[in-house]
Chain A
Amino acid sequence: MINSGGNKTRFIVVGLFALVMVFPFYFMVVLSFSPNNATLKYPPQLLPTNFTFSNYVEAWQSNDFQLYFLHSIWVSIISTVLGTIIACGAAFVVSRYNFFGRKLIYRIFLGSMMVPSMTFILPQFKEMEHLHLLNSLNGLILVYTAGMIPFTTFLMKGFFDDIPVELEDAVMIDGGGKWTLFWRVMMPMAMPSLVTAVLFNFMGGWDDYTMALTFINDPNKWTLPIALQLFQGQHSSAWGMVFAASVIQIVPIIAIFIVFQRHIVKGLMAGAVKG
């Protein structure tokens, strides 16, 4: 079955297609380091010439970019911490104990994942208005957190199910309660899978466009994706700068992914098998 000739063709085919897949990013990076007029050239210029950092400097210093960057970091981190811990707590008891309403809660969470998120946004807008949470980063944190909970509960329940019950008994014999069990055994044991949940929750906040667009109108409260799009609208031919800003936006996620690649791929696969 495994012959080296087949392996070589496989390597070439899979590799070439991978290059095609990342080509748009390559092009984006090249243009972000080129002077602005290079982005409007025809035929397109595929190799970097006149290397410059000026797009990055300009993007970083213009239009309150730093403020938006900080906003995005703040809302993503806080909502990820909240959403992940809350969902893990729920996943822990759903995975480990029998209680009234256990199956019902789990099924409703699963079912809610099937409803288009846009169906929620409309009434959420009205609700946020009533709660005075429009144009507020705290409001954004709350909806992000809420949005993370069903999926993270589903994912983490799967991982908790795989942790052997014997470990639990040891803690219980030592007189520990659920709280100890959760923090001392379940969470550390689930750490590799937790990385997957954390990355995806962080991405949910960091990459969100729709909710920020809907709930934030005040330019002083924008987050990075909103700023990026409006930035492009304002400087429609300043592609070099737009791409520099885009690179700044996507680098953190790709970096996290590369660092934790092994855990994340494992976590994704486990989640996928159960899904």
Chain B
Amino acid sequence: MIKADVLGKASVASTKRSKLRKSLLHHAGIYLFLLPAIAFFVVFSVYPILYSFIKSFTNWPVYGSSQFVGLQNYSQVLHDPVVGTSLVNALFYMVVSVPIQVVLGLLVAIGLDRPMRGRAVFRLMYYIPVITSWVVVTLLFEYLFNTDYGIINWVLESLHITHTAIPWLADRYSALTAAAILGGWKGIGWAMMIFLAGLQGVPDELYESAAIDGAGKWQRLWSITLPMIRGSFFFVTVMLVMGSFQVFISVFILTGGAPANETQVPLVWMYQQAFTNLNFGYAGAFSWIITGIIIVLTVIQFLIFKPRGAKEA
């Protein structure tokens, strides 16, 4: 009796131990799968970002040890007139490029939602700008917007919209317009794809019953399609607004901020401060201010879009 009890306890302990062993092995296996991803993430994302945050409060010299300077970099950024220009320019870029992508992307998606001849080919044609590199399309648009032999000026003059050649890339708002048209054109296919995915989720019965009730095409678009794809609409807008404040390669190559920083946008200015003027402290502080602006803009959009249907998206 006593013997049996001891044996029983021992076997319970051993099954407990083997259970523990199993669970340990199980978790070790899980973390082994995660380890490479986390290692890369810590080394190339978490560490740099903390490092840059701390360094943004120092003078961050190119060589040697840095000294704590408090908010000096931040105040320098906020007092820099070029920063103001760059933010206004980003806003301008946003106001031109986001509607192009949202409106045209949505219209194309509605056009391609139902099966028709050539649908796959058309979808590909709209998507090609999305998958080509920024460098290639920027060089291409630099050519198209050329003052002397660019096709844009040729079209405008042929249609008698303008009579003299426009020096697109030499002036502030014309250069930004060119960049925004490039960005808009490149992103229409992306917005289209998101909207197509959203439209797939709209049940056909809704349209059918609306048609029976005598709703016209526009009415159906307005009262069924648009409310049903609210989530996609929200997602596309948020992403594009965020993207507008991060426009970089196109402006960097088209104008580089010239003339006299008039076409400057936030990231180009930040990049030049860091790698041309070697002002790392300034650039670090600016990068955090840009991140802050992007977060605030995203939160504002959440507040505007979200009150109804908080579960979408």
* A246-B27 in contact (CB<8A): no
Instruction: Write out the residue numbers on chain A whose beta carbons fall within 8 Å of the beta carbon of B173.
Output: none
Given the complex, which residues of A lie within 8 Å of B111, measured CB to CB? 10, 13-14
Q: Does A275 contact B (CB under 8 A)?
A: yes
**In the assembled complex, which residues on chain B have CB atoms less than 8 Å from the CB atom of A124?**
44, 48
A182 to B32, CA, bound (A): 13
User: What is the minimal beta-carbon distance from B244 to any residue of chain A, in angstroms?
Assistant: 11
Chain B, interface SS category: helix
A11 and B135 within 8 A (CB) = no
Shortest B226–chain A CB gap in Å is 17
Indicate whether A210 sits within 8 Å of B248 (C-beta atoms), given known contacts A14-B111, A42-B149: yes
Residues of A within 8 A of B142 (CB): 232
Q: Are B37 and A17 in contact, with the CB atoms below 8 A? A: no
CB of A115 within 8 Å of the partner chain: yes
- Min distance, Cβ A262 to any Cβ of chain B, angstroms: 8
Residue B139 CB within 8 A of the other chain: yes
Q: How distant is the Cα of A18 from the Cα of B121 in the complex, in angstroms?
A: 9
Q: Is there a chain A Cβ closer than 8 Å to B290's Cβ?
A: yes
Question: Are B33 and A178 in contact (CB-based, < 8 A)?
Answer: yes
**Which residue, A1, A27, A145, has most C-beta atoms of chain B within 10 A?**
A1
* A122 and B52 contacting across the interface, CB-CB below 8 Å: yes
Inter-chain contacts of B40 with A (CB < 8 A): 86, 142, 145-146, 149
Whether A118 pairs with B246 at a CB distance below 8 angstroms is yes
- Per-position contact with B for A61-100: 1 when CB-CB < 8 Å, else 0? 0000000000000000000000000110110111001011
Chain B interface, number of residues (Cβ within 8 angstroms) = 93
Shortest beta-carbon distance from A235 to chain B in Å? 12
Residue A203 is within 8 A (CB to CB) of chain B in the complex:
yes
Instruction: Write the B33-44 contact mask toward A (1 if CB under 8 angstroms, else 0).
Output: 110111011011
Q: Is B154 an interface residue (CB 8 A)?
A: yes
- In the bound assembly, the distance between CA atoms of A145 and B40 in angstroms comes to 8
Interface presence of B68 (CB below 8 A):
no
Q: Is B84 an interface residue (CB 8 A)?
A: no
**Chain B residues whose C-beta falls within 8 Å of the C-beta of A273 in the assembled complex:** 197-198, 200-201
Question: Of B118, B134, B137, B143, which is within 8 A of A11 by CB?
Answer: B118
Stretch at the interface among B2-10, B75-83, B266-274: B266-274
Contacts of B298 in A (CB 8 A): 114
Q: Is the CB of B45 within 8 A of A120?
A: yes
The reply to whether B122 and A18 contact each other, CB–CB distance below 8 Å, is: yes
A123 to B48, Cβ gap below 8 A? Answer: yes
Q: How far is B115's CA from A11's CA once the two chains are assembled, in angstroms? A: 10
CA distance A252 to B148 in the complex (A): 32
Quick check: A112 and B140 within 8 Å, CB to CB? no
Q: How far is the CB of B290 from chain A (nearest CB, A)?
A: 6
Residue among B37, B124, B200 making CB contact with A269, cutoff 8 Å: B200
State which of A41, A149, A265 has its C-beta within 8 Å of the C-beta of B41. A149
9-residue interface stretch from A51-59, A163-171, A187-195, A253-261: A253-261
Residues of B contacting A243 in the complex (Cβ-Cβ under 8 angstroms): 140
* Interface: B283 (CB within 8 A): yes
Minimum distance in angstroms from B179 CB to a CB of chain A: 15
Can you give 14 A-B contacts (C-beta < 8 A)? Answer: A2-B114, A11-B118, A14-B108, A17-B108, A21-B125, A21-B129, A94-B34, A118-B246, A123-B51, A125-B274, A232-B142, A249-B135, A272-B197, A273-B201
Query: Given contacts A44-B149, A123-B284, A272-B198, could you give 18 more A-B pairs where the C-beta distance is less than 8 Å?
Result: A18-B121, A89-B34, A93-B30, A115-B291, A116-B245, A118-B246, A118-B287, A120-B49, A123-B51, A123-B55, A145-B40, A177-B29, A229-B139, A242-B139, A257-B128, A268-B197, A273-B200, A273-B201
Closest 9 CB pairs of A and B: A146-B44, A207-B133, A123-B48, A90-B37, A272-B197, A123-B52, A18-B125, A14-B111, A269-B197
